[in-house]
């Protein structure tokens, strides 16, 4: 599904990704762990197509298509979703309006009919219930005045509504209380566990991986994948730290 | 007919004229992204180019006005001649040659219209292209049970059709073109005309008094809640024709009326002057809600060819507990100079001003409001949202004045500016003059930019760049847009999006 080869990316003059390779197939869950500043969020942004992140070498394809020249919204319409480490506030725009416009834009790109107001509300209710989010929250402005945990949960509601093929979730677990972590974990499983879909979890902690069990765990350090293993690698990291494991 | 009236406006022979029209139309259709940038070929009757006492007499005669009205106009004309064009606003105003414009144009004379079926199909086509909301199109098409919005259409200076007159009349509401009102209700008009905006108020108001060609008159009698929203569509259609609309709305004791004004103009290569005057009067316990979505041609990317909009809008809260609300969405015009204001004379009267002003390319807007508190316990709220893009300049200029006898006045002002890009400007110029120590005045101002974070977030969810900007801008303007009547709010959102096209990327 996603194939990254020898990816180099810079912000300004600084090279952050330094020859990163990674392949994710449909039906798989991958986890990326790594020290602060290693380039995990940068990887997510580069894949999402954020301005200011320049790819200087290497390639990234999504279902065989080169995505690096595409606009962010085109990548989204292909089924790429980013769960943000720091979800953004958009004052004056309700979550429902935001998501309905986003979804219908994606559908338009894919030559699908737009969802009617009624259909959309039904879908939103279903996904909000899955994440135990009050519908009233969805009527409020996007992330404005949301607590840290609510923002993360809101990301997952958005994912549910947009129903992507590949979700890259950047520290979705951080800021969640114990119960919320379970809810979010089971939400991810319900939405994304599918033979046609895949997940890339970026995380610092084992606890999310207890809920959403990965098939592969990678260690990202200094801009590249330095080690890959099974779920046991995460446990080993938790015990010994990056220095010992990835050195 | 006098010799002044030209029955044919173009010297060119008919077939050549038709061809010119066709070419102009084709060019206009293609010319730009401006949705309403096209011209229609309804025949015009013009007053001779230029401005002198004869022009004033011509207009007055054309309107079959009584003597007092002509005298009033002539007096205004003389006052105007002695005034100088203002230059204090933060605007770069090119010289306007007042002698190089037509001051009167109307669709070719037709017999009095009994129903909308009699309206020139060309004019109905204009409505269609304007995208007048379906509800109103139904009204125009005479569909039974259509939602009630009365449309008094001002097409190039002259009211062409008035709908729902009968139902309004049953309620006692007078909704007329101002020329009709001058003939049919001279006492009412005379009592209020020029009482809120005096002739010598400002240069453009004086000019308007002299040469106003048409406009709207509304009177809602004591205790009557106007049974429908009143709506007028303005459209400038003739090349080089200054527009001098005149609106007078009077809500008698305990009356309520909501009035919607919308404007579009076809694309032209010469700047067109618009200097309207709107006067509102609310007596005891009366309420007037005046909403505008303004979409005049702003000029091309280089600022060429737009409308100059110098409008004087003022409401007088004459009675106790009266209330006047201005809501405006300004996206059009090359130059806007506009300060819908409230004079709060009544005790415990309320003034409100909700404004979204969007400028792009080379547009210049200097707008805001004046809240003049003379009544005890009067209150006002000002919410201004300025959006600047391109190389435009957007100024909020607001005055809150509290007179010495006005005890316990309250004002709250919120001025927010949103910048798109680095080449535009936003300015906030609040004037506060308080002569009574019991006043409570609050002023908040913010300036922000659309952040990269917001843009990427919205794009990652599937919106393209323009959709993302439009969404964020609409969110920014939400507090004002929600004050608009429903169908207008939808139109306004579309307008903001259209007006920002090409401003990103
Ligand atoms: N705009 C920027 N300009 C310069 N350097 C930047 C910029 N954005 C990020 N960086 C740098 O890029 C490096 C990688 O950052 P990134 O956010 O990808 O790390 P991360 O692995 O997600 O870390 P964390 O675990 O703390 O979230 C960091 O050293 C960071 O300081
Ligand atoms: Mg990060």
Instruction: Tell me how far the alpha carbon of residue A18 lies from the centroid of ligand 1, in angstroms.
Output: 13
Tell me the pLDDT of chain B averaged across its residues. 78
Residues with CB under 5 A from ligand 2 (ion): A 40-41, 85
For residue A105, give the nearest of B462, B472, B477 by CB distance. B462
Q: Which of A139-143, A173-177, B84-88 has the highest mean pLDDT?
A: A139-143
Going by alpha carbons, the residue nearest to atom 3 of ligand 1 is: A11
Q: Residue B214 is encoded by which pair of tokens? A: 């048409």
Name the residue of chain A whose CA is nearest to B481's CA: A92
CATH code at A190? 3.40.50.300
- Looking at CA atoms only, how far is residue A156 from chain B in angstroms? 12
Name the residue of chain B whose CA is nearest to A76's CA: B462
Chain A CB contacts of B458 below 8 Å: 90, 98, 102
Going by alpha carbons, the residue nearest to atom 10 of ligand 1 is: A11
Cβ atoms of B42 and B122 closer than 8 Å: yes
Instruction: Reply yes or no on whether the pLDDT at B175 is more than 90.
Output: no
Residue A112: the pLDDT is: 96
Going by alpha carbons, the residue nearest to atom 31 of ligand 1 is: A37
Going by alpha carbons, the residue nearest to atom 28 of ligand 1 is: A37
- Quote the distance between the C-alpha of residue B124 and its chain's center: 21
pLDDT by residue (tens digit) across B344-376? 999 999 999 999 999 888 888 888 999 999 999
Establish if A67 touches chain B: CB-CB under 8 angstroms. Answer: no
Name the residue of chain A whose CA is nearest to B448's CA: A91
Residue B22: the pLDDT is: 41
Residue B121: the pLDDT is: 62
Q: Residues A165, A43, A175, CA angle at the centre, nearest 5°?
A: 80
Percent of chain B with pLDDT over 70: 70
Instruction: Tell me how far the alpha carbon of residue A40 lies from the centroid of ligand 1, in angstroms.
Output: 8
Instruction: Tell me how far the alpha carbon of residue A175 lies from the centroid of ligand 2, in angstroms.
Output: 13
Residue B366: the pLDDT is: 85
- B464 or B272, which is more confident? B464
- B325 or B391, which is more confident? B325
Give the C-alpha separation, B419 to B260, whole Å: 28
Residue B206: the pLDDT is: 95
- B407 or B38, which is more confident? B407
- Looking at CA atoms only, how far is residue B460 from chain A in angstroms? 5
- Helices (H), ranges, B311-357: none
Lowest mean pLDDT, pick from A88-97, A127-136, B327-336, B433-442: B327-336
Q: Which residue has the tokens 């206009």?
A: B28
User: Per-residue confidence at A85, pLDDT binned at 50, 70, 90?
Assistant: very high
Give the C-alpha separation, B291 to B313, whole Å: 12
Q: Residues B325, B327, B331, CA angle at the centre, nearest 5°?
A: 160
Chain A CB contacts of B467 below 8 Å: 73, 101, 105
CB pairs under 8 A between A and B: 87
Instruction: Reply yes or no on whether the pLDDT at B208 is more than 90.
Output: yes
Percent of chain A with pLDDT over 70: 99
Name the residue of chain A whose CA is nearest to B469's CA: A90
Q: Residue B474 is encoded by which pair of tokens? A: 């609409």
Residue A3: name the closest of A26, A22, A28, A30 by CA.
A22
Residue A245: the pLDDT is: 79
* Ligand nearest to the Cα of A45, by number: 1
Q: Residue B413 is encoded by which pair of tokens? A: 């002002």
The half-sphere exposure of A95 on its side-chain side, counting CA atoms within 13 A, is 31
Q: What's the structural domain count of chain A?
A: 1
* Number of Cβ atoms within 10 Å of the Cβ of B51: 23
Say what the pTM is: 0.81
Residue B381: the pLDDT is: 98
Mean pLDDT score, B28-44: 44
> CB neighbours of B284 closer than 8 A, spacing ≥ 6?
B253, B254, B319, B320, B321, B322, B346
Residue B30: the pLDDT is: 34
Q: Which residue has the tokens 């439009």?
A: B470
Residue B469: name the closest of B446, B495, B501 by CA.
B501
| Per-residue DSSP letter, B98 | G
Cβ atoms of B259 and B218 closer than 8 Å: yes
User: Per-residue confidence at B28, pLDDT binned at 50, 70, 90?
Assistant: very low
Instruction: Reply yes or no on whether the pLDDT at B184 is more than 80.
Output: yes
pLDDT by residue (tens digit) across B76-114? 999 999 998 766 555 566 667 777 776 766 544 434 444
Chain A window 138-177: which residues touch B at a Cβ cutoff of 8 Å? 141, 158, 162
Residue B217: name the closest of B159, B273, B140, B285 by CA.
B159
CA end-to-end span of chain A, whole Å? 30
Tell me the pLDDT of chain A averaged across its residues. 95
Instruction: Reply yes or no on whether the pLDDT at B172 is more than 80.
Output: yes
Mean pLDDT score, B115-137: 53
Q: With 0-12 CB in 10 A as exposed, 13-18 as middle and 19+ as buried, what is B367? A: buried
Instruction: Tell me how far the alpha carbon of residue B92 lies from the centroid of ligand 1, in angstroms.
Output: 46
Lowest mean pLDDT, pick from A26-30, A83-87, A225-229, B97-101: B97-101
Residue A149: the pLDDT is: 93
Q: Which residue has the tokens 């005891």?
A: B284
> CB neighbours of B208 closer than 8 A, spacing ≥ 6?
B244, B245, B246, B275, B276, B277, B312
Instruction: Tell me how far the alpha carbon of residue A57 lies from the centroid of ligand 1, in angstroms.
Output: 19
Give the C-alpha separation, B355 to B293, whole Å: 10
Name the residue of chain B whose CA is nearest to A91's CA: B475
User: Per-residue confidence at B144, pLDDT binned at 50, 70, 90?
Assistant: very low
Q: Are strands A65-66 and A53-62 parallel, antiparallel or unpaired?
A: antiparallel
For residue A72, give the nearest of B451, B459, B474 by CB distance. B459
Q: Residues B364, B370, B375, CA angle at the centre, nearest 5°?
A: 170
- Output helix, strand, coil percentages for chain A, rounded to the nearest 5: 40, 30, 30
Residue B308: the pLDDT is: 80
Residue A155: name the closest of A178, A183, A196, A179 by CA.
A183
Residue A157: name the closest of A176, A183, A175, A179 by CA.
A183
Give the C-alpha separation, B497 to B505, whole Å: 15
ipTM score? 0.97
User: Per-residue confidence at A82, pLDDT binned at 50, 70, 90?
Assistant: very high
Give the C-alpha separation, A181 to A204, whole Å: 14
Instruction: Reply yes or no on whether the pLDDT at B268 is more than 80.
Output: no
Q: Which residues form the domain of A137? A: 2-246
User: Per-residue confidence at B131, pLDDT binned at 50, 70, 90?
Assistant: low
Instruction: Reply yes or no on whether the pLDDT at B267 is more than 70.
Output: no
User: Per-residue confidence at B4, pLDDT binned at 50, 70, 90?
Assistant: very low
- Looking at CA atoms only, how far is residue B325 from chain A in angstroms? 22
The backbone torsions φ and ψ at residue B143, rounded to the nearest 5 degrees and listed phi first, read -70, 130
Residue B156: the pLDDT is: 44
- Quote the distance between the C-alpha of residue B123 and its chain's center: 20
pLDDT by residue (tens digit) across B224-265? 999 888 876 544 444 444 578 899 999 999 999 999 887 655
Give the C-alpha separation, B416 to B387, whole Å: 9
Q: Residue B201 is encoded by which pair of tokens? A: 């108020």
Residue B177: the pLDDT is: 83
pLDDT by residue (tens digit) across B467-501? 999 999 999 999 999 998 776 777 788 778 777 77
Residue B34: the pLDDT is: 43
Going by alpha carbons, the residue nearest to atom 17 of ligand 1 is: A41
Region of B165 please: left (phi>0), alpha (psi -120 to 50) or beta. alpha
- Looking at CA atoms only, how far is residue A81 from chain B in angstroms? 7
Residue B388: name the closest of B313, B326, B322, B473 by CA.
B473
Instruction: Tell me how far the alpha carbon of residue A171 lies from the centroid of ligand 1, in angstroms.
Output: 14
């Amino acid at each position: 599904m996603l194939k990254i080869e020898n990816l180099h990316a810079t912000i300004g003059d600084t090279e952050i990704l330094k020859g990163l390779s990674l392949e994710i197939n449909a039906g798989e869950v991958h986890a990326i762990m790594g020290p602060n500043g290693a380039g995990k969020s940068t990887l997510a942004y580069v894949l999402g197509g954020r301005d200011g992140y320049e790819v200087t070498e290497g390639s990234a394809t999504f279902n065989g298509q080169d995505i690096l020249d595409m606009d962010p919204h085109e990548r989204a319409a292909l089924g790429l979703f980013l769960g943000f480490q720091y979800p953004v506030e958009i004052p004056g725009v309700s979550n429902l309006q935001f998501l309905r416009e986003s979804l219908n834009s994606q559908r338009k790109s894919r030559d699908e009919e737009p969802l009617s107001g009624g259909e959309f509300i039904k879908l939103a209710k279903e996904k909000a219930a899955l994440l135990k989010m009050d519908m009233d929250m969805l009527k409020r402005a996007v992330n404005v005045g949301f607590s840290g945990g609510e923002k993360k949960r809101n990301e997952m509601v958005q994912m549910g509504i947009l129903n992507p093929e590949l979700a890259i979730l950047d520290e979705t677990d951080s800021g969640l209380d114990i119960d919320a972590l379970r809810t979010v974990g089971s939400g991810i499983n319900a939405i994304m566990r599918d033979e046609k879909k895949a997940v890339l979890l970026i995380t610092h902690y084992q606890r999310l991986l207890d809920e959403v069990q990965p098939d592969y765990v990678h260690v990202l350090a200094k801009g590249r994948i330095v080690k890959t293993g099974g779920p046991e690698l995460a446990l080993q990291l938790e015990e010994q730290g990056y220095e010992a494991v990835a050195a | 007919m006098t010799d002044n009236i030209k029955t044919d406006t173009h010297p060119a022979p008919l077939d050549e004229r038709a061809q010119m029209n066709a070419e102009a139309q084709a060019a206009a259709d293609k010319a730009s992204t401006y949705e309403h940038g096209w011209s229609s070929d309804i025949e015009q009757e013009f007053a001779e180019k230029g401005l002198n006492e004869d022009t004033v007499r011509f207009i007055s005669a054309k309107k079959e006005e009584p003597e007092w009205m002509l005298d009033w106009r002539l007096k205004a004309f003389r006052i105007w001649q002695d005034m100088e064009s203002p230059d204090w606003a933060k605007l770069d105003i090119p010289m306007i040659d007042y002698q190089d414009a037509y001051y009167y144009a109307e669709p070719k004379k037709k017999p009095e219209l009994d129903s909308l079926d009699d309206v020139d199909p060309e004019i109905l086509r204009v409505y269609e292209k304007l995208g007048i909301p379906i509800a109103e199109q139904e009204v125009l098409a005479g569909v039974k049970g259509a939602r009630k919005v009365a449309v008094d259409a001002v097409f190039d200076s002259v009211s062409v059709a008035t709908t729902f007159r009968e139902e309004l009349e049953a309620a006692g509401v007078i909704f007329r073109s101002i020329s009709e009102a001058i003939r049919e209700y001279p006492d009412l008009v005379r009592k209020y005309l020029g009482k809120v905006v005096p002739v010598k108020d400002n240069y453009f108001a004086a000019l308007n008094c002299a040469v106003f060609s048409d406009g709207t008159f509304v009177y809602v009698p004591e205790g009557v809640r106007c049974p429908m929203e009143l709506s007028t569509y303005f459209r400038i259609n003739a090349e080089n024709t200054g527009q001098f609309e005149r609106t007078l709305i009077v809500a008698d004791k305990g009356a309520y009326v909501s009035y919607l004004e919308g404007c579009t103009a076809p694309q032209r290569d010469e700047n067109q002057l618009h200097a309207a005057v709107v006067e509102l009067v609310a007596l005891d316990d009366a309420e007037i809600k005046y909403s505008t979505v303004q979409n005049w041609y702003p000029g091309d990317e280089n600022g060429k060819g737009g409308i100059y909009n110098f409008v004087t809008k003022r409401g007088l809260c004459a009675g106790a507990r009266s209330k006047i609300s201005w809501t405006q969405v300004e996206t059009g015009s090359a130059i806007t100079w506009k300060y819908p204001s409230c004079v709060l004379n009544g005790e415990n009267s309320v003034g409100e001003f909700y404004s979204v002003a969007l400028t792009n390319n080379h547009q210049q807007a200097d707008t805001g409001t004046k809240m003049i508190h003379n009544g005890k316990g009067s209150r006002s709220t000002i919410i201004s949202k300025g959006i600047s893009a391109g190389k435009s300049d957007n100024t909020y200029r607001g005055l809150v004045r509290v007179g010495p006898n006005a005890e316990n006045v309250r004002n709250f002002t919120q001025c927010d500016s949103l910048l798109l890009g680095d080449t535009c400007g936003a300015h906030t110029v609040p004037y506060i003059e308080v002569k009574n120590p019991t006043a409570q005045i609050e002023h908040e101002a913010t300036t922000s930019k659309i952040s990269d974070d917001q843009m990427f977030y919205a794009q990652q969810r599937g919106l393209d760049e323009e959709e993302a900007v439009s969404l964020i801008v609409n969110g920014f303007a939400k507090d004002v847009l929600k004050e608009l009547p429903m169908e207008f709010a939808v139109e306004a959102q579309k307008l903001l999006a259209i007006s920002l096209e090409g401003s990103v990327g």
